[in-house]
Amino acid sequence: MTADTTFKEFVEEEGLTFSLLDVDSLKYTNLVGRFNEVKHKLRALKEGRVYERARLVMPSGQPVGEDLRSLPAGS
């Protein structure tokens, strides 16, 4: 899959026939979720963004884990 892959192409790469998918099915919902997750990761890589966990240390010396996505922009 590339950043330009459409959902239909993604489904067909999974070995399924797009036109036979029931949009109200759990399978469709799961495919949409996986597709969106991969697209998000590809977009982040393309834009040079990396989301990782940072370990901050409080003045007391105790580590504090914080997800970088929760920090304000520019931090």
Question: 21-41: b or e for each residue (b if 16 or more CB lie within 10 Å)?
Answer: beeeeeeeeebeeebeeebee
Nearest to residue 3, comparing CAs of 34, 45, 33? 45
pLDDT at 61: 52
- pLDDT single digits (tens) 8-56: 999 999 999 999 999 999 999 999 999 999 998 888 887 776 554 444 4
pLDDT at 49: 63
Give the Cβ contact number of residue 14 at 10 Å: 13
Lowest mean pLDDT among 10-14, 34-38, 58-62, 65-69: 65-69
pLDDT at 16: 94
